[in-house]
Chain A
Amino acid sequence: MAGVTASDAGTPIRRESRLSWLWQLLGDPLGAFGLFLVLVVVVSAAFADVLAPYDYKALDVKARLGAPSWDHLLGTDNLGRDTFSRILHGGQIALYVALVSIGASLMLGLILGMLAGYGPRWLDNFLMWIFDSVRSFPVIMFALAVITVVGPSLETIIFVVIATTTPGYARIARASTLATKNTEFILAERSLGAGVWRIMFSHLVPNIVQPLLILCSMDIPVVITIEAGLSFLGLGVKPPTPSWGSILNDGFGFIRNTPWLVVAGGIPLIVTTLGFTFLGEALRDVLDPKLKKDR
């Protein structure tokens, strides 16, 4: 059926196929569930200022380590700060790190990957060697080495994530470039006298960007885990900025007497990683059925 419609290429058909992936996604129960979880996280982070019942920095020492109650839905931490408000604001940090670093990795990986695929052979070999080397570093150990030298901060985390995820994007961009660069429409373009940059950015990019976007959706939970993990080790964002990891770190010190701090700090991470992973998987199945077979 799809083959028949594709052969009568025309604009209305294309528009229909553009929307259809969303319906397919919603038709997959897991995909719809993932999308729902992601929306919950995104909306609660975006409107954290409105939704949070308390100021996330406000100390209330008398109410410290309070159990969940109607006043404090998820209790209070060791400084009497409202955990629910801190979790809402922590979502902003998590999504900020994920979006900034994955956006940068995507751009950087796209450019480097196209250079490797389209450029001379020596450049390809050199870049591939760099990518392989960076990928063979265990991420957490790499992060720890960088943090020792430049000190813990949000920027350090973003740098580490960009450095370790870019090779993944670059490899996919390279493979797609190699597959596309000798197709007829690129050869035609070249014979018409188009320059290298025009071919790369006007013609290659639209054809190779889709698998990269799928990888983005799969990488978001990984990046959020890295940020939370480093903040949990006390090597991430600086207090009083709330991060899900630092909420867990605060709670870990009091795990024997006030377990709800750890329980409450873990839930948003579970919801977010599951949501993005389910969404990413469903998106991959819908957008690129070929990958489904390989995985």
Chain B
Amino acid sequence: MLLYTVKRLGLAILIVCLAMLMLLSAIHMVPGDPAGIALGPRATPEMREEFRALMGLDRPFFVQYFKFLANVMAGDLGVDVWSKRPVSTMIGEQLPHTIALALVGLGWAILLGIPMGCFSAVHRNSPLDKLTAILSVGCIAIPSFIVSLYALLLFAVELRWFPAIGAGEAGDLEDQFVHLVLPGLAVGLGWVGYLARFVRTSMLEVMGENHIRMARAYGLPTRRITYIYALKLAILPTVALLGVGVGSLISGAVFAEIIFARPGVGKMVVDAVNTRNYPIVMGGVLVTTMLFALSTLISDLVAAWLDPRIRQSL
């Protein structure tokens, strides 16, 4: 387990280093002045000079890379080209909104998806199981931004049940939660499908195992076997999967943030892409990639801890 942890941690660090290499080399790959490419046509010569000095663009590439690496490790992601504010501060302000949205989305997906999967596994091949299967595939297939748009249209514009834009008053928890309902619904819907399918498969696997058959032979009630003995085992790989869910929802939240005009890292990055503010894009992409790498790392470690077979695979 220790060896696996070290190897997996090494892979995660390598991945983040490679991500930084790609982000930095992107502005060098396109022909032309890297500072001009990073800052766009509206940048003044002074701004380009400043960016050049900040990134050390006149020095050899690997020196730039290690400077960038050292800066990131010290928590310095550069400054916003236009407002001159540190990018790390800006991300720090936006990140809680994005994480809250991802957690609410995943939260309701857990509450609905896991029971759906259990139900399907218990009533295997019944009409309701087939209906659940179709519903899960549908949830996974439909793009989340369509769900966001339709939810906005139906529940905010037509029915006026929920607020359409913003994140709610700062400090007013109830208001903030009400503002999270529709975006959370939209980002979580796909995961309802994923979880339902995943839980169904692992439940069916567990139900076929010897100790469950044994319990059945002893005449224990089906309900007790299903929800106490089988679910306890079947839920473990799902717990490992949830890490991936948080990581992918943090970047997947971008559409919901744009559509519901919510603050968040995704919205910040998209706005920066439109104004060609590369330091913000770079910082935002790097932080979300790191969070993604971290959450997949945690879920892989949990999975390996639960299932020793996985430890051999790396």
Contact = CB atoms under 8 A, between A and B. Distances in A.
6 contacts: A133-B19, A148-B272, A149-B38, A255-B153, A277-B140, A281-B137
Contacts of A146: 26
B203 to A, nearest CB: 14
Contacts of B18: 133
Given A136-B292, A146-B26, A273-B143, 9 more contacts: A133-B15, A138-B248, A138-B292, A148-B273, A148-B278, A228-B143, A252-B259, A269-B142, A278-B141
B141 A129 contact: no
A177 to B, nearest CB: 17
A140 B187 CA distance: 14
Interface residues of B, number: 56
Contacts of A270: 142, 146
B88 interface: no
A221 interface: yes
A263 interface: yes
Given A136-B296, A145-B26, A150-B30, A229 B142 contact: no
Interface stretch (B61-69, B173-181, B218-226, B283-291): B283-291
B273 A229 contact: no
A56 interface: no
Contacts of B251: 138-141
A93 B273 CA distance: 23
A124 to B, nearest CB: 14
Interface in A231-259: 232-235, 248, 252, 255-256, 259
B27 interface: yes
Contact of A277 (B141, B152, B292): B141
Interface in B4-28: 11, 14-15, 18-19, 22-23, 26-27
Contact of A266 (B146, B273, B274, B293): B146
Nearest first, the 10 closest Cβ-Cβ pairs linking A and B are A138-B251, A277-B141, A225-B143, A273-B141, A133-B18, A141-B285, A266-B146, A149-B26, A148-B281, A145-B285
Nearest to B289: A137
Contact of B137 (A142, A144, A277): A277
A274 interface: yes
Range class of the A interface residue count: 35 or more
Contact of A132 (B15, B153, B254, B278): B15
A241 to B, nearest CB: 19
Given A133-B18, A136-B15, A278-B137, A232 B292 contact: no
B23 to A, nearest CB: 6
A232 B257 CA distance: 13
A46 interface: no
A295 interface: yes
A291 B81 CA distance: 50
Contact of B158 (A133, A232, A252, A259): A259
B260 to A, nearest CB: 11
B167 interface: no
A259 B276 CA distance: 31
A262 interface: yes
Name the residue among A145, A150, A269, A270 with the largest chain B CB count within 10 angstroms.
A145
Residues of A contacting B: mostly: helix
Contacts of A232: 145, 255
B270 interface: yes
A149 B166 CA distance: 29
Contacts of B14: 129, 133
A149 B278 contact: yes
Contacts of A52: none
Nearest to B19: A137
Interface in A134-167: 136-142, 144-150
Interface in B129-153: 134, 137-138, 140-143, 145-146, 149-150, 152-153
Contact of A140 (B27, B30, B254): B254
B149 A266 contact: yes
A225 B258 CA distance: 16
A30 interface: yes
A274 B141 contact: yes
Contacts of A234: 274
Nearest to B274: A234
Contacts of A262: 149-150, 153
Name the residue among B146, B157, B259 with the largest chain A CB count within 10 angstroms.
B146
Name the residue among B149, B266, B274 with the largest chain A CB count within 10 angstroms.
B149
A212 B306 CA distance: 30
B146 A269 contact: yes
Contact of B143 (A132, A144, A229, A233): A229
Interface string A24-35: 000000100000
Contacts of B145: 228-229, 232, 248
Contacts of A263: 150, 153
Interface in A110-132: 129, 132
B296 A145 contact: no
